[in-house]
């Protein structure tokens, strides 16, 4: 630990501002007293971001001996982002006047400063001390300060605060702040107001705000995602107005909220098709005429069973325009949009069938492909990055290769080592195969094989929970259940489907698993949720959080007869799984490239002589990266860093344009509310680990088994 702190402390003397910032952040997050001297020294850094993290770290430590340094930062530092963290630290130490200074930052000069101050106030343990400071702000002329003060007071039960927050929400001056405050309020009413604003704002007003950074449209969508759709749907207002707003959200802004679409569709689909069709027709009638056909084409594929009832309710001219729009969209998609394919198939069983003759009724599978084959190859042959647990102390910029045994995210049922012969064949490849064999399409595992693999993972995760209990002390009940689980898996023939790692873990004595073993198996939860999703047994896992094992295990017949489960399962269409595979492949590549970029920034020699990196930079040039200009001004290492990030933004843009990721095309990946290059190391570790685990699972669901070493068995 001390060695790691010393190394981070030494990096604070680096000439690279980004390296100093990263080091200061890591030291702050450690919350270790040994880091304090380095953090104090970092208070003198010329970079604002370095000083901010230094003050933040001292504030979290909460040592009285640092009060003078925090006080000096509060009074003398020119950067508001530093001063707000200093006020936070002094408030924690009970310094008189620090809370007053902290509330003053609610009217700070930047959105980030105001949000930092508000987040501290939201978590303050003594609401009574805040009320007299915040209530005067409800009548302040500064709409931004009013928005934050009202949000904090509302979360504390102030009866007058919500109206003040609403007024700030509809005010152009306070709107951004009020939107950002909504997720912190964790209140169904505020989430409902954000939804209403997003769907009711005229398009021209949203477009006018696009030049803002961040844009209003992005903030509104982010607020809904962070508040969660369950909070929105769990409010008191479950009426036609809410459903209408949700339908408009799906029609106009679906690309901004891809992770919420399934939940919203599931909630609305509870309505009978006839009633839903009537509501959709009424909604279309309320829109401008030129908007009706476009909205129907976007919404109806989500509810194909309600398409005919909607058409019946429309007037003849509107119906004709809607049908023409669907035909044109389906023809242009060419079977690559599974929703339009389902809608076309549904409409071919109606009186309007003749219009859809010749259009695809079976989805075609299209994988995302970079602009050139070499770039695609480079993405596969770059040194694999480790799937680091968010709790790991390892720096992502220090470890640039996957260990032989990926104990963090590798599946115990999915051994992916390839035979040496395959690598030998690749080395001999010189551009063309003399005797090229006929290509065989991948064969996805059937539903029963997916279900069997889910049972195996369920058994492993259940044993993990018992091992955790045994690690805390003697537990006869856990021991008994573990033995029954082992007997059940043996009787049901599930041991035969385990890989080497899983078999070894099950063969050891109960209570013998190490903490490392338990951490490794815990990552199987990601695979289990995707398997159950592929079997239509649960929803997609959240993009930014790890899956939870307990609710998934409840869906499995552990210690029961598994045959009804195995025989009744049904797979999702392959195109839905392929879409998620494309999504997580890009997220995995982006996380790896960002890790490599940070590694090169820390050690420029990593970029020397790397042929795969060279191919990636050439690919980035083809999509607009000024490689020569950046290299001449900032050097080769910085050119490699920026080129990798440019290529990542390009990959993300392709997904955003296809509606598989939220955000405006061109802005890059947003994860946990921050852009990829701004992610702190733990957040990047989370992204890397989640993407690694989920991509492997989706690849198996899409393409079936890979070649295994001799003697290995595999599910499916």
**What's the pLDDT tens digit per position in 108-133?**
888 889 999 998 898 888 888 889 99
344: pLDDT strictly greater than 70: yes
Contact assessment for residue 693 and residue 527, using Cβ atoms and an 8 Å cutoff: yes
Q: Tell how strand 670-671 and strand 674-675 pair up.
A: antiparallel
| Residue 237 confidence class, pLDDT cut points 50, 70, 90 | very low
Average of per-residue pLDDT across 406-431: 41
695: pLDDT strictly greater than 50: yes
Q: Which two tokens stand for residue 54?
A: 């230094």
Task: List the one residue out of 268, 272, 226, 271 whose CA is nearest residue 249.
Answer: 268
Start-end of H helices in 228-314? 229-233, 240-253, 258-268, 273-286, 289-299, 307-313
What is the DSSP code (8-state) at residue 112?
H
Residue 447, Cα to own-chain centre: how many angstroms?
Answer: 27
Start-end of H helices in 472-523? 476-491, 500-507, 515-522
Average of per-residue pLDDT across 79-95: 92
Which residue matches tokens 């049972």? Answer: 455
Q: What are phi and psi of 345, to 5 degrees?
A: -65, -40
Q: Please, what is the average pLDDT of the chain? A: 81
204: pLDDT strictly greater than 60: yes
| pLDDT score recorded for residue 501 | 59
Please tell me whether residue 528 adopts helix, strand or coil conformation: helix
| Residue 385 confidence class, pLDDT cut points 50, 70, 90 | very low
| pLDDT score recorded for residue 412 | 47
What is the DSSP code (8-state) at residue 357?
T
Helix axes 67-76, 48-61, angle to 10 degrees: 140
| pLDDT score recorded for residue 469 | 87
| pLDDT score recorded for residue 497 | 59
236: pLDDT strictly greater than 50: no
Minimum mean pLDDT among 344-353, 374-383, 552-561: which range? 374-383
Contact assessment for residue 525 and residue 546, using Cβ atoms and an 8 Å cutoff: yes
Residue 189, Cα to own-chain centre: how many angstroms?
Answer: 25
pLDDT tens, residue by residue, 419-433: 344 334 444 444 444
Q: What are phi and psi of 675, to 5 degrees?
A: -70, 160
The kind and range of the H/E element at 675 are: strand 674-675
Average of per-residue pLDDT across 223-246: 73
pLDDT tens, residue by residue, 66-78: 999 999 999 999 9
Q: Which two tokens stand for residue 341?
A: 């394919």
Helix axes 258-268, 216-227, angle to 10 degrees: 60
Task: List the one residue out of 450, 444, 445, 697 whose CA is nearest residue 583.
Answer: 697
Partnered with residue 675 across adjacent β-strands are 670
Contact assessment for residue 619 and residue 374, using Cβ atoms and an 8 Å cutoff: yes
Q: Is the preceding omega at residue 214 within 30 degrees of 0, hence cis?
A: yes
What is the DSSP code (8-state) at residue 538?
S
- In angstroms, the CA 51 to CA 33 distance is 18
| Residue 372 confidence class, pLDDT cut points 50, 70, 90 | very low
Q: Which residue has the higher pLDDT, 561 or 664?
A: 561
Task: List the one residue out of 20, 48, 6 whose CA is nearest residue 602.
Answer: 20
Q: Sign of the C-alpha dihedral, residues 207, 209, 210, 214? A: negative
Q: How many CA within 13 A on the CB side of residue 153?
A: 24
Contact assessment for residue 118 and residue 184, using Cβ atoms and an 8 Å cutoff: yes
709: pLDDT strictly greater than 70: no
- In angstroms, the CA 657 to CA 382 distance is 26
Residues making up the chain, counted from first to last: 716
Average of per-residue pLDDT across 201-211: 67
| pLDDT score recorded for residue 502 | 64
All residues at 6 or more sequence positions from 351 whose CB lies less than 8 Å from its CB, including other chains: none
pLDDT tens, residue by residue, 488-528: 888 887 765 565 556 677 777 888 888 888 888 888 899 99
Average of per-residue pLDDT across 159-184: 90
Contact assessment for residue 155 and residue 187, using Cβ atoms and an 8 Å cutoff: yes
Torsion-angle region of 609 (φ positive above 0: left; ψ -120 to 50: alpha; else: beta):
left
- In angstroms, the CA 109 to CA 107 distance is 7
Q: What are phi and psi of 282, to 5 degrees?
A: -65, -40
| pLDDT score recorded for residue 498 | 61
Measured CA distances, 551 to 548, 554, 555, 588 (Å): 7, 5, 7, 26
Task: List the one residue out of 228, 224, 259 whose CA is nearest residue 539.
Answer: 259
Minimum mean pLDDT among 179-183, 186-190, 497-501: which range? 497-501
Q: What are phi and psi of 674, to 5 degrees?
A: -130, 155
pLDDT tens, residue by residue, 620-668: 989 888 988 888 888 888 999 999 999 998 998 888 887 777 777 877 8
The H helix count followed by the E strand count for the chain is 37, 2
Listed in order, strand segments (DSSP E) in 32-191 are none
Average of per-residue pLDDT across 702-709: 59
Minimum mean pLDDT among 224-238, 260-274, 322-336, 606-620: which range? 224-238
Q: Which two tokens stand for residue 79?
A: 């950067």
| pLDDT score recorded for residue 75 | 93
Percent of the chain with pLDDT over 70: 83
Task: List the one residue out of 576, 456, 587, 462 whose CA is nearest residue 518.
Answer: 462
Average of per-residue pLDDT across 194-204: 83
All residues at 6 or more sequence positions from 6 whose CB lies less than 8 Å from its CB, including other chains: none
């Amino acid at each position: 630990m001390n060695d790691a702190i010393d190394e981070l402390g030494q990096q604070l003397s680096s000439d690279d501002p980004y390296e100093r910032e990263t080091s200061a952040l890591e030291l702050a997050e450690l919350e270790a007293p040994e880091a304090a001297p380095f953090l104090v020294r970092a208070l003198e850094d010329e970079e604002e971001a370095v000083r901010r993290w230094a003050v933040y770290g001292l504030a979290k430590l909460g040592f009285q001996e640092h009060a003078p340094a925090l006080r000096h930062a509060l009074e003398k530092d020119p950067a508001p982002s530093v001063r707000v963290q200093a006020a936070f630290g002094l408030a924690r130490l009970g310094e008189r006047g620090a809370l007053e200074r902290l509330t003053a930052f609610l009217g700070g000069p930047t959105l980030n400063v105001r949000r930092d101050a508000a987040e501290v106030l939201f978590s303050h343990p003594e609401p009574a001390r805040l009320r007299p400071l915040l209530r005067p702000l409800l009548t302040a002329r500064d709409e931004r300060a009013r928005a934050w003060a009202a949000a904090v007071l509302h979360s504390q039960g102030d009866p007058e605060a919500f109206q003040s927050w609403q007024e700030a929400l509809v005010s152009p001056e306070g709107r951004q702040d009020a939107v950002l405050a909504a997720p912190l309020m964790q209140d169904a009413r505020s989430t409902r107001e954000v939804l209403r604003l997003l769907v009711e704002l005229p398009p021209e007003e949203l477009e006018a705000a696009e030049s803002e950074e961040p844009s209003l449209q992005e903030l509104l969508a982010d607020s809904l995602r962070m508040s969660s759709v369950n909070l929105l749907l769990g409010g008191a207002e479950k009426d036609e107005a809410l459903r209408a707003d949700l339908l408009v959200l799906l029609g106009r802004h679906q690309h901004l909220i891809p992770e919420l679409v399934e939940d919203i569709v599931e909630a609305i689909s509870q309505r009978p098709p006839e009633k839903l069709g009537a509501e959709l027709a009424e909604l279309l009638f309320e829109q401008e005429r030129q908007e009706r056909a476009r909205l129907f084409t976007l919404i109806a594929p989500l509810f194909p069973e309600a398409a005919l009832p909607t058409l019946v309710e429309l007037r003849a001219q509107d119906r004709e325009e809607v049908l023409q729009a669907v035909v044109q969209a389906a023809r242009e998609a060419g079977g690559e949009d599974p929703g339009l394919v389902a809608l076309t198939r549904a409409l071919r069983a109606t009186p309007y069938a003749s219009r859809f003759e010749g259009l695809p009724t079976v989805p075609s599978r299209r994988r995302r492909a970079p602009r050139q084959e070499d770039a695609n190859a480079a993405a596969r042959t770059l040194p694999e990055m480790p799937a680091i647990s968010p709790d790991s102390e390892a720096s992502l910029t220090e470890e640039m290769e996957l260990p032989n045994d990926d104990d963090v995210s590798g599946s115990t049922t999915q051994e992916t080592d390839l035979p040496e012969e395959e690598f030998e064949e690749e080395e001999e490849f010189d551009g063309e195969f003399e005797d090229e064999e006929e290509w065989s399409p991948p064969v996805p595992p059937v539903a029963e094989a997916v279900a069997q693999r889910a049972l195996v993972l369920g058994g492993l995760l259940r044993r993990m929970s018992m091992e955790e209990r045994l690690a805390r002390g003697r537990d006869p009940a856990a021991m008994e259940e573990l033995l029954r689980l082992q007997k059940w898996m043996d009787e049901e023939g599930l041991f035969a489907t385990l890989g080497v790692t899983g078999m070894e873990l099950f063969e050891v004595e109960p209570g013998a698993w190490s903490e490392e073993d338990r951490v490794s198996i815990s990552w199987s939860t990601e695979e289990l949720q995707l398997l159950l999703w592929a079997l239509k047994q649960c929803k997609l896992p959240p993009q930014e959080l790890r899956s939870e094992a307990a609710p998934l295990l409840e869906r499995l017949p552990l210690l029961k007869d598994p045959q009804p489960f195995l025989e009744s399962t049904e797979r999702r269409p392959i195109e839905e799984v392929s879409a998620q595979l494309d999504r997580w492949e890009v997220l995995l590549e982006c996380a790896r490239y960002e890790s490599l970029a940070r590694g090169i920034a820390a050690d420029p020699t990593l970029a020397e002589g790397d042929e795969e990196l060279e191919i990636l930079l050439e690919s980035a040039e083809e999509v607009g990266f000024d490689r020569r200009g950046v290299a001449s001004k900032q050097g080769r290492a910085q050119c490699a860093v920026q080129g990798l990030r440019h290529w990542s933004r390009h990959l993300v843009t392709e997904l955003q344009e296809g509606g598989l990721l939220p955000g405006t095309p061109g802005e890059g990946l947003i994860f946990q509310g921050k852009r990829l290059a701004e992610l702190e190391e733990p957040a990047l570790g989370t992204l890397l680990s989640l993407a690694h685990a989920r991509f492997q699972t989706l690849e198996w669901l899409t393409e079936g088994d890979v070649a295994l070493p001799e003697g290995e068995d595999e599910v499916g």
